Structure 1
């Protein structure tokens, strides 16, 4: 079965849904409900044998790049105001088809946000390369 990365982005995607409200404006109860939904999705995927991994990411970020053969890595803090997308977290799934990956992503996009309404978050669906160097199976 192919694996897919379902990448959640802070404010990422082609355009925001008209009801988009950033998480920074949600109440504690709304954030708790949202996180409970994420756990629900993980459990649903486990029960169907499609779960591989899930991680939520803190919005703090440090950008790092190669500094040269005799230099330390170059780092700078972020995020920057011009940054359009910042990874919020991901689900790694192992499903029968791309169609199923899209179904899971659409369901994940329905997570509750402000006022308990679906956030209509864009979810980036990326197939995992088979035979990639990092694959140690």
Structure 2
């Protein structure tokens, strides 16, 4: 088994997928989307392929070490950016091909009008072994 991170990206228009911003979806469309995501995760949980997942709020903060002892903090990322990470899911599957299959299925979650949103998913494998630390 190999673990993969699926990063859910919304690209293009601000916080939009399939050319319709999520804030313009009807409550029923939002509910259908959330239900699809939950059912997808539940199905993978039943097969032992689901590890964890979470949606992310559009607002955030950037932090980095500044060498002065107090890290600077700036606003961002913003929902208006060209590429926003909207959430993530960790899966544990038998092959890369299975990971691609599941990513494609997740990309088809329903959006406005019940149509698949075709969102971008970044598929990233976990290291098979932790990096070696030498002193």
Q: Does TM, scored on the shorter chain, surpass 0.5?
A: yes
Aligned to 1:32, what secondary structure does the other structure show? helix
Aligned to 1:3, what secondary structure does the other structure show? strand
After TM superposition, give the deviation of residue 132 of structure 1 in Å.
2.5
Gaps of 5+ in 2: none
Report the TM-score, using the length of structure 2 for normalisation.
Answer: 0.86
Report the TM-score, using the length of structure 1 for normalisation.
Answer: 0.85
Which structure shows the higher strand fraction?
2
Q: Which runs of 4+ in 1 moved over 2 A?
A: 79-84
* Match in the other structure for 2:109: 111
| Residues 80 and 35 (structure 1), Cα distance of their counterparts in 2 relative to 1, 3 Å cut | closer
Q: Which of residues 60, 84, 87 in structure 2 aligns to 1:86?
A: 84
- 1:11-22 map, 5 Å: 11=11, 19-22=18-21
Gaps of 5+ in 1: none
* Match in the other structure for 2:63: 64
After TM superposition, give the deviation of residue 51 of structure 1 in Å.
0.7
| Residues 8 and 74 (structure 1), Cα distance of their counterparts in 2 relative to 1, 3 Å cut | same
Aligned to 1:92, what secondary structure does the other structure show? strand
